[in-house]
Amino acid sequence: MTALLSLNGLSKRFGGLAAIQALDLELHEGIITALVGPNGAGKTTMFNLVTGNLMPDAGAVSLAGRPITGLAPHRVARLGIARSFQDLRLFTHMSVRDNVLASLERRAWFWQPGGGLERRAAAEAALERTGLLPLARARAIDLSYAEAKFLSLARIMASGAKIWLLDEPASGLDPASRSRFTALLRGAMAEGVTICLIEHNLDIVTEVADRIAFLDQGRKLAEGEPDEIMRNPDLRRIYFGERRQ
Ligand SMILES: Nc1ncnc2c1ncn2[C@@H]1O[C@H](COP(=O)(O)OP(=O)(O)OP(=O)(O)O)[C@@H](O)[C@H]1O
């Protein structure tokens, strides 16, 4: 299977700290890959390197074989890579609908393909799918925690991006919202979206991920099927903080 997104020998230091070290990772089309690892493993840094929010010190990122290393974030977004943030970064004083519309780039006049009418239709469809249509006129600041998480997802959904990088998208959700959330991810995956998610909750990971890449101290220690990774006693020790001396 050819990779849609490939990271080859990616490295990033912050002063004396090696946050990402010679990381190789492939995201395959229509697959959900979870990045798992203890705090500070380098998971968010990896997203930042892909999206152009950080420049790598070494290594390359390619999209369908085309190098995209170090492109500016808006150019990466235009290539169909969307991301969410742990702190959501919503426009808190704008309406739910405007938050979704604001995530869509104005590419054409409203009567042209990709113009206003199409943007509005994409926004309405994303609001509908995430269950936010009845709240479309509410301000983002007035949403519950779970609703804000769904809004963050709606923004990505509406963008039509083919690769979604999600930073702890379902953390803190109640069980019912969590199942609704994971169903949306599986639905997107069935439509060909490629998802990489950072997640600390291992129940969510087992429920939703097809593959797991396990990171620790900037290195990929293991990669494979969820069952195989979860069973590995060494990884469990690292994850749950029982390091061997
Ligand atoms: N801009 C920065 N400047 C300096 N150090 C940074 C910066 N960003 C991240 N780091 C450090 O790099 C390491 C990796 O951080 P990163 O946020 O990528 O980890 P993570 O796996 O996402 O952690 P968490 O699960 O806690 O979110 C950490 O030690 C962090 O303190």
User: Listing from the earlier edge strand, what are the strands of the sheet with 17-28?
Assistant: 17-28, 3-14, 58-63, 66-67
How do beta strands 17-28 and 3-14 pair? Answer: antiparallel
Q: Which atom of ligand 1 is found nearest the CA of 46?
A: 18
Q: Which atom of ligand 1 is found nearest the CA of 45?
A: 18
Q: What pLDDT sits at residue 244?
A: 46
Q: Which letter, b or e, does each residue of 145-173 get, where b requires 16 or more Cβ atoms within 10 Å of its Cβ? A: ebbbbbbbbbbbbbbebbbbbbbbbbeeb
Cα 14–Cα 18–Cα 20 angle in degrees, nearest 5 = 105
Distance between Cα 135 and ligand 1 center (Å): 35
Cα–Cα distance, 35 to 223 (Å, whole number) = 9
DSSP string, the chain: --EEEEEEEEEEEETTEEEEEEEEEEEETT-EEEEE-STTSSHHHHHHHHHTSS--SEEEEEETTEE-TT--HHHHHHTTEEE--TT----TTSBHHHHHHHTS---S-TTSTTSHHHHHHHHHHHHHHTT-GGGTTSBGGGS-HHHHHHHHHHHHHHHT-SEEEEESTTTT--HHHHHHHHHHHHHHHHTT-EEEEE-S-HHHHHHH-SEEEEEETTEEEEEE-HHHHHH-HHHHHHHTT----
Give the residue whose CA is nearest to atom 7 of ligand 1: 14
| Any atom of ligand 1 within 6 Å of the Cβ of 45 | yes
Q: Which atom of ligand 1 is found nearest the CA of 54?
A: 1
Our CA dihedral for 7, 11, 17, 19, rounded to 10 degrees, sits at: 0
Distance between Cα 40 and ligand 1 center (Å): 5
**Across 216-242, average pLDDT:** 86
Percent of the chain at pLDDT exceeding 70: 93
**Across 148-164, average pLDDT:** 94
Complex-level ipTM: 0.96
Cα–Cα distance, 13 to 19 (Å, whole number) = 5
Q: Which residue has the higher pLDDT, 209 or 2?
A: 209
Is 80 exceeded by the pLDDT of residue 35? yes
Q: What pLDDT sits at residue 115?
A: 58
Cα 35 to chain centroid distance, Å, stands at: 10
Q: What pLDDT sits at residue 23?
A: 97
**Across 15-41, average pLDDT:** 94
Give the residue whose CA is nearest to atom 16 of ligand 1: 42
φ and ψ of 134, to 5 deg: -65, -15
Mean pLDDT, the chain, integer: 89
